[in-house]
C-alpha cells in the first residue's frame, strides 16, 4: 500500500501522461484534417483537435495543483 504522500504524486504523474497522450492524439487529428479532401471533415477534425487540446491543458492544470 502506498502512503498518502505518494498518492498525489502518482496521480499527478498519471494525469500528465494522460495529457501527453491527448496531445499526441490532437496532433494526429490536425494532420488528418490537413490531409482530408473534404472541407466539412477538415473543419470537424480541427474542432475536435482543439477540444482535445483544451482537455489536455485542463488535465495538466489539475495535475499541477496536486
Please give the average pLDDT of every successive group of 10 residues along the chain, which has 66 residues: 64 96 98 98 98 98 94
Tracing cell 480541427 back to the chain, one arrives at 46
Report pLDDT for 9.
Answer: 77
pTM of this prediction?
A: 0.81
Report pLDDT for 15.
Answer: 96
Report pLDDT for 5.
Answer: 56
- Sign of CA pseudo-dihedral 2, 8, 12, 18: positive
Report pLDDT for 3.
Answer: 53
C-alpha Rg value of the chain to the nearest Å = 16
Q: Are residues 10 and 2 in contact, defined by beta-carbon separation less than 8 angstroms?
A: yes
Report pLDDT for 1.
Answer: 44
Nearest residue to 43 via CA among 27, 59, 32: 32
Q: Which helix (H) or strand (E) holds 45?
A: helix 39-65
Amino acid at each position: 500500500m502506498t502512503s498518502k504522500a505518494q498518492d498525489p504524486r502518482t496521480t499527478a504523474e498519471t494525469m500528465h501522461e494522460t495529457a501527453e497522450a491527448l496531445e499526441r492524439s490532437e496532433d494526429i487529428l490536425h494532420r488528418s484534417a490537413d490531409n482530408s479532401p473534404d472541407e466539412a471533415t477538415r473543419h470537424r477534425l480541427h474542432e475536435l483537435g482543439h477540444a482535445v487540446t483544451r482537455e489536455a491543458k485542463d488535465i495538466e492544470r489539475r495535475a499541477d495543483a496536486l
